[in-house]
Amino acid sequence: MKKRLIYSCLIAGATFIAGCTKNFDAINTNPNKVNADIFPPNFLLAQSQIKFSNSGYDQLLFQSMWSQSLACTYDYYGNGDKYIYAGSGRGYLERTWNTSYGASTLVDEMKNLIKGKAGFSNLDNVGTIMRIMILQRITDAYGDIPFSQEGQAKTGVTTPVFDSQQAIYTSMLSQLETATAALDASKDVPSSDLFYNGNIAQWKKLGYSLMLKAAMRLTKVDPATAQKYAEKAFAGGTMSSIDDNAKVKADEANGNSNSDVNALLVTDDFREVRWSNTLISYMKSNTDPRVSAVAEIASGTGKAANEVRAAGDNTYALQVGMPNGYDLKGGTTDISKAPGYPGTSPANAAVAGDVAAPVGKYSRPRFAVYDDRSRINMLYTYGESELLLAEAATRGWNTGSAATHYANALTADMQSIAQFNAAGTVPTTSITAYVATHPLVAATALQQINMEYFVVTSTTFNFNETWANWRRSGFPVLTPVKYIGQFTDGSIPRRNPYPLGVPSTNPVNYAAAVAKLTGGDIFTARVYWDK
């Protein structure tokens, strides 16, 4: 996958010159030329999957800390940790739009190549499911977006309309229903599929699970539609084990390294990005065995030890989450002033020039689990789908037993960590004991379910989803960070502003979309389903 060759970029306009040779075309045709007739459309599916999955700094600098999954004292992360512009903040903020639309364009081109070809019916339907997965992330982040006219530049549509999010969700649910039902395991098999290696049964389960997730986004604004499609998804058959987790394995050796890891292994990032107090304190309050699977502190003391890219100490008792909103500037917001500050990690006298590490006693994501440049990117898990079914059942909808779904989710969520690396394996006995002692309680069911959703999406580094579900469910209950120079009114961002270039490249449709946002194109405006 190191090189991506899109046939349309390689076709040049030909100038035909008359000659005396009868076989002019045959002689002068480049046998290596790529065109629509010979280009393998399956290739574009894999390219779309790796592009979409590799979110990197766009979710690390923003969503991971808006949702208080991670925390950081390093200035570069002020974008998410403190709601202030820092570093290349605006550029990275636009990546959710640019990268995701780039991935959807690959799917669009794939579907164009196979249009009307019966031998690619499954690939076509898989493409629809993939496209919906991608565009849901964009609309959840921005609100109204180009949807119905997305990817139509070849037909002359260069200023697409911004469909309302309400209309987008109606269309997404309908398209998922049609495409998923049409998948047929007796027909063609996608030959370049990084999710399931062409397994149609698993794609069918993903399609219904995505339908479930889209339906549950509407619980606050259209519960009738949410119920209708949640029940359809359950009846159709959602994910049934962690083998169905939608994930993409990066490939460092072939130029497709994991962008999350590339960011986290930058020296300053590695030294100062930590699990948030909101997450670790919640997990420890429940004696969650995942704490030792996902968290560690440096094995040694001092700054030098905290910059060594090696396994640390994951002893449960030593793990402490760092509160959001602090820095290393010596003032009132210095991390040393934080409640419950565990103290600095002292300089190692045996290391020349070493100094103390002020955040060295706070827990970071475990090196062995999360810092392999070829590790997976997790996009949607069986555990998440079970939690959504549990919530739907709690609401009285026909989606099975809430308690059973919740127990399934706890087990799956703990098992899924090992899909990053075996070092993240939670012992089976620990999982069994935890599930037995943490049953779903009717009076607190919605809180339990959505707090577990917070834990699983955080620990699987799916921070786009953590942020989205927090806005939908209200869990966890977060205390906004207060800091000088914020780009919000002191509240946690609830959407991304549109990219800076959109007002000039698509002014009329941009203006129409912004006119529907309370307060305009700002971080604190709310998307349709976030009411």
H helices present in 273-317, as ranges: 277-285, 290-294, 302-306
Give the separation between CA 158 and CA 149, rounded to whole angstroms: 9
The per-residue pLDDT for 408 is 98
CB distance 495 to 525 below 8 Å = yes
What region does 475 belong to: left with phi over 0, alpha with psi -120 to 50, or beta? Answer: beta
- Residue carrying the six token digits 């994910």: 239
String of DSSP letters for 225-277: HHHHHHHHHHHH----SGGG-EEEE-BGGGTB--HHHHHHTSHHHHHHEEEBH
Per-residue model confidence as pLDDT tens for the chain (531 residues): 443 444 433 333 332 223 334 444 444 555 555 555 668 899 999 999 999 999 999 999 999 999 999 999 999 999 999 999 997 778 889 999 999 999 999 999 999 999 999 999 999 999 999 999 999 999 999 999 999 999 998 899 999 999 999 999 999 999 999 999 999 999 999 999 999 999 999 999 999 999 999 999 999 999 999 999 999 999 999 999 999 999 999 999 999 999 999 999 999 999 999 999 999 999 999 999 999 999 999 999 999 999 999 999 999 999 999 999 999 999 999 999 999 999 999 999 999 999 999 999 999 999 999 999 999 999 999 999 999 999 999 999 999 999 999 999 999 999 999 999 999 999 999 999 999 999 999 999 999 999 999 999 999 999 999 999 999 999 999 999 999 999 999 999 999 999 999 999 999 999 999 999 999 999 999 999 999
Pair 314, 424: CB distance under 8 Å: no
Of 3.30.1540.10, 3.40.190.10, 1.25.40.390, 3.30.360.10, the CATH number of 42-531 is 1.25.40.390
pLDDT of residue 18: 33
- Where helices occur in 143-184 by DSSP H, the ranges are 165-182
Residue ranges of domains in the chain:
42-531
SS3 of 459-477: HCCCHHHHHHHHHHHCCCC
Full-model pTM: 0.94
Cβ count near 162 (within 10 Å): 26
Indicate left, alpha or beta for 38 from its phi (over 0: left) and psi (-120 to 50: alpha): alpha
Sign of the C-alpha dihedral computed for residues 75, 83, 274 and 194 taken in this order: negative
Q: Are 274 and 72 in contact (CB under 8 A)?
A: yes
Q: Which residues of 103-142 are buried (b: 16+ CB within 10 A; e: fewer)?
A: bbbbbbbbbbbbeeeeebebbbbbbbbbbbbbbbbbbbbb
Task: Give which of 204, 219, 126 is closest to 169, Cα–Cα.
Answer: 219
Q: Look at residues 494, 403, 473 and name the one whose alpha carbon lies nearest to residue 440.
A: 403
